[in-house]
Amino acid sequence: MTQLTSKVCVVGDFAVGKTSVVERFVTNHFSGKYLSTVGVKIDTKEIEQPAFGITHKLVVWDVAGSDSFGDREFAYLRGASGYIFVADGTRPLTFEAVETIQSQIGERFGAAPSVLLVNKRDLVAEWEVSDERFESIGASFNGAFRTSAKTGDDVDVAFARLAQLIVERELRGE
């Protein structure tokens, strides 16, 4: 295997920064605009995985939706190899949205590698998430990161972690 292509879906409540973290990951920019995503937006980025000797093409599906998904949103998720769940550190209610979507996805599609991004880390003064809450919600994911699409903090790290988990699972033949 020298090249692997994986579908990754980005999910979470409105305005948590899903489109912005994808933009940061794919183009390394932050626009600061709020353009509500309609349906789904698909971007691709290749990353190197030297530890496995492969180039890994991530096809990133930015799926619009809120705290609960309908049939159309679930249809977008079909075939996903992994998930990026995004919450907003300034809005604790978005954690509940993540938990709801996570359990709905689990019921429909079974387990898949997933990481949690608690985004807007740059707005630290407005952050409303204790370390305990972060640790407790993070425990139900394969990794949890405090990110900022604005500064770029930990966005690449989070995507790289998910990509690594996907490759490892692939190699196990699951």
d(CA 122, CA 23): 17
d(CA 15, CA 24): 15
Q: Checking DSSP bridges between strand 40-49 and strand 54-63, what pairing results, if any?
A: antiparallel
Binding residues for ligand GDP restricted to 66-125, rule: CB under 6 A? 119-120, 122-123
| Residue ranges with strand state E in 80-170 | 82-88, 114-119, 144-146
Q: Is 58 near ligand GDP (CB under 6 A)?
A: no
Q: If contact means CB under 5 to 8 A according to the sort of partner, which of Mg ion, ligand GDP, none does residue 15 touch?
A: ligand GDP
Site string for Mg ion, 34-63 (x = CB under 5 A): ---x--------------------------
Q: Is 100 near Mg ion (CB under 5 A)?
A: no
Tell me whether residue 148 or residue 164 sits nearer to Mg ion (CB atom): 148
Q: What angle do CA 84, 63, 34 make, to 5 degrees?
A: 100
Through-space distance between the first and last CA atoms of the chain, rounded to whole angstroms: 16
| Residues making contact with ligand GDP (CB under 6 A) | 14-20, 32, 34, 37, 119-120, 122-123, 148-150
| Residues making contact with Mg ion (CB under 5 A) | 18-19, 37
